[in-house]
Amino acid sequence: MVLCPVIGKLQHKRVVLASASPRRQEILSNAGLRFEVVPSRFKEKLHKASFATPYAYAVETAKQKALEVAGRMHQKDLRAPDVVIGADTIVAVGAMILEKPVDKQDAYRMLSRLNGKEHSVFTGVAIVHCCSKDISGPGRTLRLTLSSWAPRAHPTDGRLDTEVSEFYEETTVKFSELSEELLWEYINSGEPMDKAGGYGIQALGGMLVEYVHGDFLNVVGFPLNHFCKELARLYYPPRPEDLRRVRHDSIPAVDTFENLSDSEAGGSDPGQSAKGGRGGEQADGDRSQAPRALDAALNGADSRPPFPTGLLELMDGFKASKVLFTACKLRLFDVLKDQGPLQAADVARKLSTCAGRTEQLLGVCAALGLLEKTRRGYGNTEVATLHLVSDGEHSLQGLAEYNDAHVWGVFTRLGLAVREGADQTRGVLGAMEEERLSQNRELTLQFMRAKHSLSKLTAHHVATAFDLSRFASACDLGGCTGILARELAQEYPRLQVTVFDLPEVTELSGGFQRGGRQTERIRFVPGDFFKDSLPEADLYVLSRILQDWPDDKLHKLLSRISSSCRPGGGLLVAEAVAEEEGASRSPRLRTLSAGQPRSPDEHRRLLQRHGFRDVRVARAGDLLCVVLGTRAAP
């Protein structure tokens, strides 16, 4: 498929879609492109009469939308993009260009013009390749240091070199003869208001359409097929004669990040458009100029090293994490779930936070794909709705809270851990151990919320990695809130499950339980698996436990389990995946714990060393590996 190889070319680039259109986001996401959404602030006010054709207007508007985002991100170091994609969809009937209706009357005027007639839908697309050439050398990254949150004396002197590839696509659409009543019924549905021409062919508006000649997705807002051909043309390999380098010193200056806000950030002045011809002047509507820098990089003529996007992303990753944790701590996603979308000022009012910095936080959350910005303000994206709203079924709010309150501190002491070998986790978990969780109820609850939200992601995978129906009873050692126990009871209707955990944990587990028949087969027993007798069970379960203990403790625990397990009984171990021996685990799970990352084979050998045979290994999602061993007769 032409897109797959091209996706590979874009995979390590920072791609930004400069559009608030959910349709465009969906079309590109479904095609497998990874990108961030940074809606453009370009005001679509180009003078239509100054364009020779409707599609020239659409292409120029698309270009200005993309250049505005490229310029803003370059100036603000939100995330230095490699590629910015802009698009603009218009409906043309006769010489008239129809954009989004301003009100119902306007929608009626448009639909009446389209009624019973054939019209064209044009989508202009601009692909802007950015190469930052600022005084601090190539590349810019997320620079959210304290200073960058303070008003800047002046924007950086840096210059943004861009190379623009642009094209348009035309689709012909014919409306049926529509009654006045039907038109108003459609208008009152509200659907027309955010769509060019006042209709949405992909939804109710499909009822108005008699036929479509051409790319359907182009009508919805993004000509995916043409876009793929354009990318293929750009990356395999560009022909020198197609290259046209355009330098945009005229990128419209915008205020510093600090001062940028909806009311202040005017659109870029059309007069400052790119040098060179207006968009779309060529008859075939397909004017591509691949970037020369790209051609040089692809053909080895450029001696400079490839841009270290991944490394810079690694260097700045912690800032993005802190932005996420701060937004979670402020319950930003909860407020937007209940009352969104909201303008930045309204968010600041509801959170009782500083308006300027709230605007910045919202902007970065949008750049991180956690929020989407539309004319009506900021709203949660799908991932935020699923995982960042605190009462959501799949919420990871607890994990964010715990990482921010505790794990963050652990990593600030990484240097000490490396120099002195001290296990900094003990500094946190240890503190929890020594002062006993019971003396710090809030800490215990935060720990349990974190473990609960993380376990929810993998509990089903762990419970179903192997067929456990031969066991009548199971004991989940360190089972915390019982999320895995619940999954086991759900999956195996015969199974009785015991959750064995510290008293201060089991006494708080009630708050995490949800109803359901399977809870009748789950019991919580307080105890310490290093000191107290283990509850009797056919199957013992250790999920994300071994990783937290040094070898001496780990062998002590496995030895106690082996002694408690009758011949034919089982031990199920679920741990973070370490691909090969000694490899470090996925950083997202490593908490600097005292345990060693273990490969599946190392786990296999560990169980065999403690008397388990027929040891099998499986994967649980891309987070955990699951190992099941059967206790051999002594």
Ligand X SMILES: Cc1cn([C@H]2C[C@H](O)[C@@H](COP(=O)(O)OP(=O)(O)OP(=O)(O)O)O2)c(=O)[nH]c1=O
Between the alpha carbon of residue 483 and those of residues 463, 499, 509, the distances in Å are: 11, 10, 10
Q: Which residue, chain included where needed, has tokens 């007069």?
A: 271
Out of 10, 33, 59, 91, which residue is the one contacting ligand X (CB under 6 A)? 91
What's the min distance (Å) between Cβ of 371 and ligand X?
Answer: 14
Residue 89 · residue 123 · CB < 8 Å: yes
Output the smallest distance, CB 191 to ligand X, in A. Answer: 9
State the nearest-atom distance from the C-beta of 174 to ligand X, in Å.
Answer: 13
Burial label for 363, CB within 10 Å (0-12, 13-18, 19+), is buried
Residue 85 touching ligand X (CB under 6 A): no
Instruction: Kindly state the tokens that stand for 532.
Output: 């107290």
Q: How far is the CB of 212 from ligand X (least distance, A)?
A: 10
DSSP string, 379-404: EE-HHHHHHTSTTSTT--HHHHHHII
To the nearest 10°, report the CA torsion of 260, 265, 270, 276: 10
List binders of ligand X among 225-254 (CB under 6 A). Answer: none
Q: Is residue 39 close enough to count as binding ligand X by CB under 6 A?
A: yes
**What is the distance between the alpha carbons of residues 60 and 47, in angstroms, rounded to a whole number?**
11
* Least distance in angstroms from the C-beta of 484 to ligand X: 43
Q: Nearest 5 degrees, angle CA 451-CA 456-CA 460?
A: 130
Closer to ligand X by CB, 200 or 479: give it.
200
For the chain, first and last CA: distance in Å? 57
How far is the C-alpha of 258 from the C-alpha of 509, rounded, in Å? Answer: 45
Nearer to ligand X, 33 or 508 (CB): 33
CB 257 within 8 A of CB 76: yes
437-496: which residues touch ligand X (CB under 6 A)? none
> Contact region for ligand X (CB under 6 A) — 13-21, 520-528, 599-607, 625-633?
13-21
Say if CB 279 and CB 59 are below 8 A apart.
yes
268 binds ligand X (CB under 6 A): no
d(CA 550, CA 507): 27
* Structure-token match 């999320």, residue found: 483
Query: Please, what is the minimum distance in Å from the beta carbon of residue 80 to ligand X?
Result: 21
- Residue 251 backbone dihedrals phi, psi, to 5 degrees: -55, 125
Please identify, using beta-carbon distances, which residue of 200 and 340 lies nearer to ligand X.
200
Binding mask 65-84 for ligand X (x = CB under 6 A): x-------------------
Residue 433 to residue 93: CA distance in whole angstroms: 73
- Residue with Cβ nearer ligand X (201 or 541): 201
Number of residues in contact with ligand X under rule CB under 6 A: 25
User: Which of 100, 287, 449, 451 forms a contact with ligand X (CB under 6 A)?
Assistant: 100
C-alpha 287/C-alpha 233 separation (Å) is 11
Residue closer to ligand X by CB (options 261, 390) is 261
Binding to ligand X, residues 104-163 (CB under 6 A): 121
Report the catalytic residues: 88
Based on CB atoms, which residue is closest to ligand X, 40 or 458?
40
Which residue in the set 25, 33, 40, 468 belongs to the binding site for ligand X (CB under 6 A)?
A: 40
Question: β-strand 371-374 against 473-477: which pairing, if any?
Answer: unpaired
Nearer to ligand X by C-beta: 89 or 564?
89
Q: Which stretch, 18-26, 348-356, 457-465, 586-594, contacts ligand X (CB under 6 A)?
A: 18-26
Phi, psi torsion values for 400, nearest 5 degrees: -60, -45
Tell me if 354 sits within 8 A of 348, measured CB to CB.
yes
Site for ligand X in 185-224 (CB under 6 A): 194-197, 199-202, 205, 219-221
Classified as helix, coil or strand, 386 is helix
Burial string for 364-377 (b: 16+ CB within 10 Å, else e) reads bbbbbbbbbbeeeb
Residue 65 or 631: which CB sits closer to ligand X?
65
Work out which of 75, 89, 343, 381 binds ligand X, going by CB under 6 A. Answer: 89
Report, in Å, the least distance between residue 99 CB and ligand X: 6
How far apart are CB 443 and ligand X at their closest, in Å? 44
Kindly list the residues in this chain that would bind ligand X in the complex (CB under 6 A): 19-21, 23, 39-40, 65, 87-89, 91, 100, 121, 194-197, 199-202, 205, 219-221
